[in-house]
């Protein structure tokens, strides 16, 4: 039995599709099972509840061999670290009580380099907490998701602009969630691996915001430009939209860490595990969303 958390999330739902296609027995933890399609509900076991609920996680992990662990964000959390650890402890308890053998976690690049890096530092603390149980563990190390650009479809369409905190010429890696999901599913379907290991998934290229603007201009057929936002302006905007001060500061710290090189990987690993280029992603995902 394989347990999938966040089964309706951007990564979880894709992993779930791979596992079902692979014929694996699957159990999901879902706050609201009605958000799963009728076809999915017929093909998986469902535990209604939150991954923050010790009883729900233990129920889901009973008799399970492997778990996909994806930490849901909480922009209203009073503490970034507290949110991450609070969600991870029920998994660690279930590993001990239910005999879970393998966990695949969605984490971040930057282990050994992240210092005061907001959500990056917190999710790396999640890795350490899970590893402390002795479970066989694969930590999938990602930079920013290409899908984050979908949050800016409005200004892209209406103004021909997107916004960010990085300098326009600062190149960083980015990864498509479909590559993360494919790697996670392959690991969950494989019952032979042991030990604890980081698996970096930085995508096949480093791009700056200006590089991305040029690619989007070509794919979308209209001029796109990038505009850097002052951190204090961004903080005020986030808090104005209901984000907690702690979560907003974490996002600013994460951007500062990315600018300082926390995602940089030298040498870059093989792109075979995360092959989707930003141009391909724009053609397959952004352009349809832009046209909708």
Helix axes 119-131 and 245-260, enclosed angle (nearest 10): 90
Q: pTM for this one?
A: 0.93
pLDDT given for residue 267 in this prediction: 67
Tens digits of residue pLDDT in 144-203: 999 999 999 999 999 999 999 999 999 999 999 999 999 999 999 999 999 999 999 999
- C-alpha–C-alpha distance, residues 85 and 52, integer Å: 10
3-state secondary structure of 173: strand
- C-alpha–C-alpha distance, residues 138 and 129, integer Å: 13
Q: Among residues 174, 50, 164, which one has the least CA distance to residue 108?
A: 174
Percent of the chain with pLDDT over 70: 98
Pick the CATH number of 2-145+175-200 from 3.40.50.720, 3.30.70.100, 3.40.50.1260, 3.40.50.300: 3.40.50.720
- C-alpha–C-alpha distance, residues 231 and 133, integer Å: 38
Which element (helix H / strand E) includes 155?
helix 153-159
Percent of the chain with pLDDT over 90: 87
Chain-centroid distance of CA 214 in Å reads 25
Tally of CB atoms within 10 A around 144: 20
Q: What are phi and psi of 237, to 5 degrees?
A: -65, -45
- C-alpha–C-alpha distance, residues 21 and 17, integer Å: 6
pLDDT given for residue 198 in this prediction: 94
When the pLDDT of each residue in the chain is averaged and rounded to a whole number, the result is: 94
Q: What is the mean pLDDT of residues 46-57?
A: 90
- Is a pLDDT exceeding 70 seen at residue 39? yes
Q: What is the mean pLDDT of residues 2-28?
A: 94
What separation in angstroms does the CA of 131 have from each of 12, 79, 139? 21, 22, 10
- Is a pLDDT exceeding 90 seen at residue 273? no
What separation in angstroms does the CA of 260 have from each of 64, 123, 166, 177, 266? 40, 18, 10, 24, 14
pLDDT given for residue 266 in this prediction: 62
Q: Decide if 269 contacts 203 (C-beta within 8 A).
A: no
Tens digits of residue pLDDT in 213-265: 999 999 999 999 999 999 999 999 999 999 999 999 999 999 999 999 999 87
Contacts for 210 with CB less than 8 Å, ≥ 6 apart: 168, 169, 226
- CA angle (53, 58, 61) in 5-degree steps: 125
Q: What is the mean pLDDT of residues 66-88?
A: 94
């Amino acid at each position: 039995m394989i347990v999938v958390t966040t089964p309706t999330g951007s990564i979880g739902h894709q992993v779930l599709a791979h596992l079902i296609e692979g014929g694996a027995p699957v159990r999901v933890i879902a706050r609201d099972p009605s958000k799963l399609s009728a076809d999915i509900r017929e093909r998986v076991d469902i535990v209604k509840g939150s991954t923050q609920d010790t009883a729900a996680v233990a129920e889901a992990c009973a008799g399970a061999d492997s778990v996909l662990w994806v930490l849901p964000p909480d922009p209203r959390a009073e503490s970034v670290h507290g949110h991450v650890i609070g969600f991870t402890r029920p998994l660690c308890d279930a590993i001990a009580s239910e005999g879970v053998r393998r966990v695949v976690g969605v984490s971040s690049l930057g282990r050994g380099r992240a210092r005061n890096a907001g959500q990056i530092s917190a999710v790396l603390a999640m890795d350490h907490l899970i590893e402390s149980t002795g479970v066989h563990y694969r930590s999938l190390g990602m930079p920013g998701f290409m899908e984050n650009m979908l949050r800016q479809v409005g200004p892209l369409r209406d103004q021909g602009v997107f916004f960010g905190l990085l300098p326009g010429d600062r190149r960083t890696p980015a990864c498509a969630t479909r590559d993360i999901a494919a790697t996670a599913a392959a690991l969950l379907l494989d019952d032979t691996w042991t030990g604890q290991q980081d698996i970096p998934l930085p995508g096949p290229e480093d791009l700056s915001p200006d590089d991305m603007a040029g690619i989007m201009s070509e794919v979308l057929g209209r001029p796109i430009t990038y505009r850097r936002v002052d951190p204090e302006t961004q903080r005020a905007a986030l808090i104005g939209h209901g984000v907690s001060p702690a979560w907003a500061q974490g996002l600013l710290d994460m951007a500062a860490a990315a600018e300082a090189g926390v995602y940089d990987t030298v040498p870059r690993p093989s792109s075979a595990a995360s092959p989707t280029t930003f141009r391909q992603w724009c053609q397959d995902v952004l352009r349809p969303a832009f046209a909708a």
